[in-house]
Chain A
Amino acid sequence: QKEVEQNSGPLSVPEGAIASLNCTYSDRVSQSFFWYRQYSGKSPELIMSIYSNGDKEDGRFTAQLNKASQYVSLLIRDSQPSDSATYLCAVSDSNYQLIWGAGTKLIIKP
């Protein structure tokens, strides 16, 4: 069975520090990888996508992908209280359907 695993947290990070969120997946044929942010009571919002090995940066966010290790991560630099949310990792299968992790709850402490 195809799986995506995340640490459920909560992960507590001081304001201004780097938050590091991790995700592993089981399906070696996966080609597309996504990070979604979900605030409490709201719907998930796409914040990062990555398709090839290496790093992809967008503002304070950096996604990292290592297909050999089946590992994808999200780094948030200069963490702000507004970054407090649940972060969902999603990985596509061969039919471009997303397999979801259960999410990591991130808390940024002022």
Chain B
Amino acid sequence: SQTIHQWPATLVQPVGSPLSLECTVEGTSNPNLYWYRQAAGRGLQLLFYSVGIGQISSEVPQNLSASRPQDRQFILSSKKLLLSDSGFYLCAWSASLGFFYGYTFGSGTRLTVV
């Protein structure tokens, strides 16, 4: 069966510090991968999605970037965090072939920038 791992679960970082969040998927090949952010009490905001290694689409211009160095690994990064980067970051995957069953989310990372 497929599983998605996301870490760390919580993170407190000072303004101006770098960020690296990692997400890996097991049990499937060539998944579509997504990074979302959810501000407190708000809906899901799509940040990046990837349909293959090295293929990243950005939905929102910001100081965040994403990379997909391996088929089942998706990384969210920032060189310098802003206070407005605080939020709940969610990685998700979906199948790229066959029937579409929707997205499966990781457990999320709660980021607080101080």
Question: Which A residues contact B (CB, under 8 angstroms)?
Answer: 32, 34, 41-46, 49, 88, 90, 92, 96-98, 100-103
| Residues of the A chain whose Cβ atoms lie less than 8 Å from the Cβ of B106 | 43
Known A43-B90, A43-B106, A43-B107; judge A101-B43 contact (CB<8 A). yes
Residue ranges of B at the interface with A (Cβ–Cβ < 8 Å): 32, 42-44, 49, 88, 90, 94, 100-108, 110
The number of inter-chain residue pairs (CB within 8 angstroms) is 40
25 A–B contacts from the bound complex (CB under 8 Å): A32-B100, A32-B102, A34-B102, A41-B110, A42-B107, A42-B108, A43-B105, A43-B107, A43-B108, A44-B44, A44-B105, A45-B105, A46-B101, A46-B102, A46-B104, A88-B43, A96-B32, A96-B94, A97-B49, A98-B102, A98-B103, A100-B43, A101-B43, A102-B43, A103-B43
Q: Which residues of A contact B104 (CB under 8 A)?
A: 46
Q: Which residues of A contact B105 (CB under 8 A)?
A: 43-45
| A96:B108 contact, CB within 8 angstroms | no
Least CB distance, B25 to chain A, in whole angstroms? 14
**Distance of B97 from chain A, by nearest CB (Å):** 11
Inter-chain contact B101/A49, CB cutoff 8 Å: yes
